[in-house]
Structure 1
Amino acid sequence: MLYQTLAITFLLFIGSFPQPNIKAEKPAIITSIDPISTIYNGLQSSTGVLPSKEVFTLAFQGWTKMKGDLKSKVLTVIDFSLPSTAKRMWIIDPEKGEILLNSVVSHGRNSGELMAISFSNQPESYKSSLGFYKTAETYSGKHGYSLRLDGLEKGFNDQARNRAIVIHGADYAREEFAKSVGRLGRSLGCPALPSELSDQAIDLIKEGSLLFIYGQDENYLNKSSLIQA
């Protein structure tokens, strides 16, 4: 009986002391890292002009799928949802996070005036074609130093070589032309560049890099397998 009384007294004594406030540790929150956002947010441009994140994301998704088949890891992005007066072409090194060149670029004469609103893969349509291309060999033609393109998306741009869709320089694709007319001049479907920049651009992207031409076209956006995550 004495021992039982002493035990109860001891327990009451211990219980009179304030107890430590022990809080359950919260589980660590693990956040996933979005590689596209990381690269996009780190892009450096001397002009300060970047492609939209939406367009860059589509281009990067295609580049990720195709880069194993590419000779050059440079990625070129053209955004035909912008007016031709805007610098809507970017040559990007995704691995270094650098924009190597940013320029205006012309669209096809039958794709629209200031804005490119209609696209085609058909010969003699004189329209621009959307989607992913692989750059090929250079040559000297009526527009001087030029770069052939091979369309990679059947039904959207796979007629590019048959249509002679190439990258070349043109005086009508210069910003001075746009200032006097209100828009760039237009091509027969080629992404034409300012004559003073075309040689530099071609040397950056020739022989096996990826080119992505974006436009606000629901048919392409819904059916292209290369832009899906």
Structure 2
Amino acid sequence: MEKLVFILFMGLYAALFSESKNVVPTEIHKKEITVKKKISKVDALYESMNLKDVVNYKAFKEAMEGYRLLPAKNKDVLSIIDFTLPSTEKRLVVLDLKNEKVLFHSLVSHGKNSGSNYATSFSNTPESFQSSLGFYVTENTYQGSNGYSLVLNGLEEGFNDRAKSRAVVVHGADYANPRIVSSLGRLGRSYGCPALPRELAKPIINTIKDGSLLFIYADNQEYIAKSKVLNHRDDLTAYYEKDMAGDKFGKMN
């Protein structure tokens, strides 16, 4: 009797296993699989560029979401500022995505009213003297009171779209010198601009000027919840499903 029960059980198991192998994925499952394959390219790029000790993975992932969605003249270069790090650490990274290289890794100042060593408060309001989060596109350069400077156009309404009227630009500053850290225990602070060490300002500006994307990250819950770029999930899903043949990073020019 036990032998008969065992035979019946094995026959039922074999039938179920055979049926499961022949299940045809639904269209929804196919789309999910496709999206996961596309998204995994971000992980592969993070690993191939050896970015683990250079830039926070979450900051990189969010930056790449905006990179895929937002049009820009120069999609070979992407800059990320990670304000979850203290000002005593290198928070700006400039990436050459075309050639998979780290071009610059630098200290960068935040706004004087955003915090002391850490930037914790952000604003889009004039005269707030705070940094602003989100995606920017770089524009032209000019000689101003802070020397060679780069105009930033904030792309996110409510978060950084007043960057131009606030004169939030990339420039060099003496207070962004690493020697300041030894005396103050932190980097000097700006009026809201991402200020760089003097010796790096010109080469970095010349690399990222004229239409590349800059993303300022802080793992800020309000920004994550309300950013129109990060919350265009349907648009991103549809975009990931497009044929990306011949274009590794999916430029959207």
Structure 1 equivalent of residue 118 of structure 2: 115
Normalised by the length of structure 1, the TM-score is 0.82
State whether structure 2 residue 97 is matched by structure 1 residue 104. no
Q: Note the aligned Cα RMSD (angstroms).
A: 2.0
The gaps in structure 2 that reach 5 residues or longer are: 1-16, 22-32, 234-253
Structure 2 equivalent of residue 55 of structure 1: 59
State whether structure 2 residue 86 is matched by structure 1 residue 83. yes
Shift in Å at residue 127 of structure 1? 0.2
Cα distance in structure 1, aligned partners of 2:127 and 2:98: 38
Matched position secondary structure for 2:215: strand
Q: 1:190 aligns with which of 193, 196, 208?
A: 193
Per-residue CA deviation, residues 187-218 of structure 1 (Å, 9 max, x unaligned), is 00000000010001000100100000011321
Structure holding more helix per residue: 2
Give the aligned residue type for 1:138.
T
Cα distance in structure 2, aligned partners of 1:214 and 1:197: 21
Structure 2 equivalent of residue 64 of structure 1: 68
Cα distance in structure 1, aligned partners of 2:205 and 2:104: 11
Structure 1 equivalent of residue 203 of structure 2: 200
Structure 2 equivalent of residue 129 of structure 1: 132
Shift in Å at residue 94 of structure 1? 1.9
Give the aligned residue type for 1:41.
E
Structure 2 equivalent of residue 19 of structure 1: none
Shift in Å at residue 174 of structure 1? 1.1
Shift in Å at residue 171 of structure 1? 1.0
Structure 2 equivalent of residue 221 of structure 1: 224
Give the aligned residue type for 2:45.
I
Per-residue CA deviation, residues 150-209 of structure 1 (Å, 9 max, x unaligned), is 000000000000000000000110111112210000000000000010001000100100
Among all aligned residue pairs of Structure 1 and Structure 2, give the percentage whose two residues are the same amino acid: 47
Q: 1:95 aligns with which of 95, 98, 111?
A: 98
Alpha-carbon contact 1:138-1:148 (below 8 Å) kept: yes
Cα distance in structure 2, aligned partners of 1:119 and 1:98: 30
Normalised by the length of structure 2, the TM-score is 0.75
Cα distance in structure 2, aligned partners of 1:154 and 1:219: 13
Cα distance in structure 2, aligned partners of 1:201 and 1:49: 20
Q: Size of the alignment, in residue pairs?
A: 201
Shift in Å at residue 227 of structure 1? 2.3
Give the aligned residue type for 1:217.
N
Instruction: List 4+ stretches of structure 1 deviating above 4 A.
Output: none
Q: Which structure's CA Rg is the greater one?
A: 1
Alpha-carbon contact 2:150-2:209 (below 8 Å) kept: yes
Cα distance in structure 1, aligned partners of 2:216 and 2:88: 17
Q: 1:35 aligns with which of 41, 54, 57?
A: 41
Q: 1:144 aligns with which of 147, 150, 159?
A: 147
